[in-house]
Structure 1
Amino acid sequence: MEVLMSNWSNVVQSLPEKYIFPPEKRPGKDVFPVVNDVPVIDLERAKGHGRGDIIHQILDACQEFGFFQVINHGVPVSLMDDTMNVLKEFFGSSAEYKSSFYSTDINSKCRIYSSTMSYDNEEVHYWRDNFTHHCHPLEDQLLELWPDKPIRYREVVGAYSVEVRKLLLRILDLISEGLGLKLGYFDGELSKIQLLSVNHHIPCPNPSLTLGMPEHCDPNLISMLHQCSVPGLQVFHQGQWMNLDPMPNAFVVIPGLQLKVISNEKFTSPIHRVMTHPKEGRTTMGTFLIPSHDTLILPPNHAPLFRGFTYQEFFTTFTKNSCDADFALEYFKNKP
């Protein structure tokens, strides 16, 4: 079977056996509730007298929910739409062209792969293709790794990458102010690496038996998701799985585990996953800011709950233990 499902027909009549989860891991046919009280942050208000109120809203959201949506964020809607369209064109390009980017090397700076990083060895596959590449700094040698088809790919995705980075750094400045940290605390090494990660899901004949992405916490500093109009993102909230439905022209912001550490566990980093859809394809864009591998992570607090560690140490512990966030956090906690 062709590894990349974007090379399959969009009309799949039955779920291949390798995509059927064990009964205890299947999402089932339950009707999931929607998170109706998700915080919506109007960033335009942060430019004036409402700045303090917006900071308070963001900190409350990071503590109570672990996620929020931002509107009036400054990224042009036309650029968001253009980027989504260009990426859909890429996934619709020829199998031969896409295969030139196929790689299972996690260190590759531009690659497409299917399901997880160990497709040949995993017992069950996730219902997705993923295209990931580095986005910062936008130098010629980096851009040359990106697709040159569609012809506008580098121009459009490059402009989008710059705008969403500026937005995330604005949000981090508001967070640092709320935590009593110096302005620009998260600039530099703590946010040095920027990844664009695009998940593409074709229609699934039986969403109750499989998942588009596993339940997980993000190990990085901060994540921002640009959802399409097709629902699928779920968060584990109030003791149950709930749908976080798309909001037009908004971004979903999720603090990563490094923000949980730096906030000395004031923040939470939610468990989330992706469902499939029986009739419609779904493409979503995630932007992740990640510390450089040798960056020291330590709560700037007089009584830190965690001992200092490098991001590489954390990521290695996290991935070697089945991406178990609780295990990784407990491993680096200061012992009484």
Structure 2
Amino acid sequence: MAATANSQIISSTTENSFVKALAESSTLKSIPTEFTFPNDYTCSNPNSLPTVDFSLLISPDPDQRSKTLHELAGACEQWGFFVLVNHGIPESVLKGAISASLEYFDLPAEEKRRYEAKSPSDPIKSGSGSVINTNNHRIHLWRDYVKSYVHPQFHCPHQPTNLRDTVYEFSEKSRKVARTLLQGIGENLGLEKGYIDEALKLDTCFQLYAANYYPPCPQPDQAIGIPPHTDHGLLTFLIHNGVAGLQIQHNGEWFDTNSPPNSILVNTGDHLEIFSNGRYKSVKHRAVVNTEATRISVVLSNGAAPDAVVGPARELVERDGRALYHSMKFIDYVETMTSNLRMGKTSLDCIKIQDE
């Protein structure tokens, strides 16, 4: 009977494209086979991720700023992840983004189905998602999501009514922080002042809002929220509701991440690896699930302008003697990546220039 019930539930969930209803079913005792993704989600706990104090990065004290620039460079080179503190974005904005996103997932399924993705270029998308594994089998993910392009054109679901203003404010404030970090990164790379802004057309930078909802799972070692992947873009900002679940790969091992309240987890994306000609790495990470608590994360992906052709910075290619990556229009990369969700080879692997 349990198998039959699960089969009926998964049929309904696949049709409706949402996992929340499945997780809340009183008859669910085990995950349906379509979600089976065996994984060992236990991992090491790092002493701590690097921390970057944004207030010191913009400090008029040259010694404090120099020290913070050095810490930023080390975090990008060695971890590809860091905890950003004292960033100046009010705590009310961060909490509001989490709260309004959670309200979205509580909407009736009919409202959320308005945004089911029909093509990679859709500016608003909602659903649960799946990946194709190495055996060419489709695996459903244990999460629901909503995504929207928020810059240079702003798009957002109409419901709940407070989501639009909240996401707009969070994205606007985050762009300013991201741009300052990128200017510091350009300085660390030894690039001319203003080069990174001009080369990547940061005035019209691409920004994506995404909220991920991971409900409790009866078999967390047999399901996955999001499998190992890297992010497109330059810098990804992530906040969450305090429930653990994000794990990162460092020196071949998986580590849990921890971040204090009102901080932002930042990771370097594919395009920063490309632009830096491999100096900064886009690090694999994954989202695991648990049996007890719902996890929600809100992400802002900060990239180059949609029409910017992103390749290794000219000065870095001259220093290194050759480019390690092909150049590609930013939005083409994003849409190629989102339309080919397969385990294994990433979009970044595909544009690396192989040694002869």
Could you tell me how far apart the structure 1 residues matched to 2:131 and 2:224 are?
16
Residues 55-81 of structure 1: CA deviation (Å, up to 9, x unaligned) = 110111111111111000011001100
Could you tell me how far apart the structure 1 residues matched to 2:259 and 2:216 are?
18
Could you tell me how far apart the structure 1 residues matched to 2:354 and 2:253 are?
30
Could you tell me how far apart the structure 2 residues matched to 1:222 and 1:122 are?
31
CA contact (8 A) 2:228 2:284 kept: yes
Question: SS of 2:243's equivalent?
Answer: coil
Could you tell me how far apart the structure 1 residues matched to 2:23 and 2:230 are?
32
CA contact (8 A) 1:106 1:117 kept: no
Cα distance, 1:126 vs structure 2:
1.0
CA contact (8 A) 1:199 1:284 kept: yes
Could you tell me how far apart the structure 2 residues matched to 1:69 and 1:131 are?
24
TM alignment of 1:9-158, pairs within 5 A: 9-10=23-24, 12-21=28-37, 26-28=38-40, 31-48=42-59, 49=61, 50-116=64-130, 123-137=138-152, 142-143=154-155, 146-158=156-168
Q: % of aligned pairs identical? A: 24
Question: SS of 2:322's equivalent?
Answer: coil
Give 1:332's aligned amino acid.
K
CA contact (8 A) 1:190 1:221 kept: no
Residue aligning to 1:305: 323
Question: SS of 1:215's equivalent?
Answer: strand
Could you tell me how far apart the structure 1 residues matched to 2:279 and 2:108 are?
47
Is 1:171 the counterpart of 2:185 in the alignment?
no
Could you tell me how far apart the structure 2 residues matched to 1:321 and 1:284 are?
20
Cα distance, 1:53 vs structure 2:
0.8
CA contact (8 A) 1:80 1:160 kept: yes
TM alignment of 1:204-219, pairs within 5 A: 204-219=217-232
Could you tell me how far apart the structure 2 residues matched to 1:238 and 1:335 are?
23
**Structure with greater helix percent:** 2
Question: SS of 2:116's equivalent?
Answer: coil
Question: SS of 1:124's equivalent?
Answer: strand
Residues 38-64 of structure 1: CA deviation (Å, up to 9, x unaligned) = 101111111222111111101111111
Q: 1:288 to 1:316 in 2, by over 3 A?
A: closer
Question: SS of 1:224's equivalent?
Answer: strand
Could you tell me how far apart the structure 1 residues matched to 2:102 and 2:350 are?
40
Q: 1:69 to 1:190 in 2, by over 3 A?
A: farther
Could you tell me how far apart the structure 1 residues matched to 2:43 and 2:100 are?
32
Is 1:282 the counterpart of 2:292 in the alignment?
no
Residue aligning to 2:352: 332
Residues 218-269 of structure 1: CA deviation (Å, up to 9, x unaligned) = 2322211112200000011232211112321111111112211222221122
Residues 132-163 of structure 1: CA deviation (Å, up to 9, x unaligned) = 0011135xxx44xx222222221111111101
Cα distance, 1:105 vs structure 2:
1.8
Cα distance, 1:320 vs structure 2:
5.5
Cα distance, 1:293 vs structure 2:
4.6
Question: SS of 2:279's equivalent?
Answer: coil
Q: Which runs of 5+ in 1 are unaligned?
A: none
Give 2:352's aligned amino acid.
F
CA contact (8 A) 1:314 1:328 kept: no
CA contact (8 A) 1:104 1:117 kept: no
Question: SS of 2:94's equivalent?
Answer: helix
Cα distance, 1:164 vs structure 2:
1.0
Which one of 215, 231, 234 corresponds to residue 244 of structure 2? 231
Residue aligning to 2:8: none
Q: 1:92 to 1:178 in 2, by over 3 A?
A: same
Give 1:156's aligned amino acid.
T
Tell me the C-alpha RMSD between the 2 structures: 2.6
Could you tell me how far apart the structure 1 residues matched to 2:287 and 2:336 are?
24
Q: 1:113 to 1:51 in 2, by over 3 A?
A: same
TM-score by length of 1: 0.88
Cα distance, 1:321 vs structure 2:
9.0
Could you tell me how far apart the structure 1 residues matched to 2:217 and 2:191 are?
46
Residue aligning to 2:169: 159
Cα distance, 1:92 vs structure 2:
0.5
Residue aligning to 1:250: 263
Could you tell me how far apart the structure 1 residues matched to 2:326 and 2:31 are?
46
